[in-house]
Structure 1
Amino acid sequence: MLKIESIQNGIVIDHIPAGKGMDIYKLLELDSQKQSIALLQSVRSEKYGCKDLIKIEGFTEPERLEVLGYLNDGVTLIVIRDGKVVKKYHPVPPRTLKNVIKCKNPRCITSTEANCEHIFKLSSSGKYRCIYCNQEASLLR
């Protein structure tokens, strides 16, 4: 049995669908972080059968995790301080996504101009739309 130490101060990203942990790891650019990070894949779970899990010691940027509300509403974020759980919540979809997804419209300015940021806003219908051409984003879930 693999044993991973509990973290004292940081965050745990729990209930990641099996096989999606590495996608979240890359999206959050955790490879460029200086903190201690544990990515566990295909962990047995009574409730979910199988899941992925990410533990980040010393993580202090919870606003970066807002994008998880777009990716999967079943993910649980657990904030740990002094070895104790201080907050447990599901991220909500952010109002704006910046450089998370790319516009698929070939006529969009983001397709023709270099260094143009891909920005999507959450519409009243609950879908993300490109701010430049109003193209609806395809879901990653």
Structure 2
Amino acid sequence: MIIGTIVDGIVIDHIPAGRGMDLYRDLGLDKLECEVAVIKNASSGKYGKKDILKINEVIDLNYDMLGYIDPHITVNIIRGGERMEKIHPHLPETITGVIRCKNPRCITSIEQELPHIFRLTDREHGVYRCLYCDTKGGKR
């Protein structure tokens, strides 16, 4: 399989195997006009298998979402065919609009325009709780 070289763009690497398409949709990559490659189940010496996203354009990314999905994900910014920056997203203290509160009595169920905001309550286990009702959001 041959995937073209990126001159100016982004490579999102070390995505947990099978999560690449979810991330593709969550980041809105399906709306881009540029080339985007989704590589599923690539060999990884560290993890066994991984997914990779290659975007042939430098775009703004939601690093909070990437850190929430898996803090082992790496983002490589490519300019002029060379990696200029390697970013390791981390678990954000708060995350907005990524997790939805499942509590039917939460204010976010009644007030549809309120953003779903979750705060990190257990860094070791990656547990998030709703800012409004304290319902556990957990990992995706």
TM-score normalized with structure 1 length? 0.87
CA offset at residue 67 of structure 1? 1.2
- Give 1:33-52 correspondences, 5 Å limit: 33-52=32-51
Say which of 101, 104, 122 aligns to 2:102. Answer: 104
Residues 1-141 of structure 1: pairs in structure 2 closer than 5 A: 2-62=1-61, 64-123=62-121, 125-126=122-123, 127-140=127-140
Q: Residue type matched to 1:133 in 2?
A: C
Find the aligned partners of 1:35 and 1:97 in 2 and give their Cα distance.
28
1:107-138, CA deviations, whole angstroms, 9 ceiling, x for partnerless residues? 10112232332111234x43322121122212
Paired residue total: 137
8 A Cα contact 1:35 1:59, kept in partner: no
Identical-pair percentage: 45
Q: In structure 2, what residue type is equivalent to 1:137?
A: G
- Structure 1 position 12, deviation (Å): 0.5
Task: Could you tell me which runs of 5 or more consecutive residues in structure 1 were left unpaired when the two chains were aligned.
Answer: none
- Of the structure 1 ranges 109-118 and 78-87, higher mean CA displacement relative to structure 2 is found in 109-118
Distance 2:131 2:45 in 1: 42
**Equivalent residue of 2:89, what SS?**
coil
Q: Per the alignment, in what secondary structure is the counterpart of residue 46 of structure 2?
A: coil
- What root-mean-square deviation, in Å, do the aligned CA atoms of Structure 1 and Structure 2 show? 1.6
Aligned 8 A contact 2:42 2:49 in 1: yes
Determine if contact 2:20/2:51 at 8 Å carries over to the other structure.
yes
- Partner letter of residue 110 of structure 1? T
- Counterparts of 1:37 and 1:105 in 2: how far apart (Å)? 36
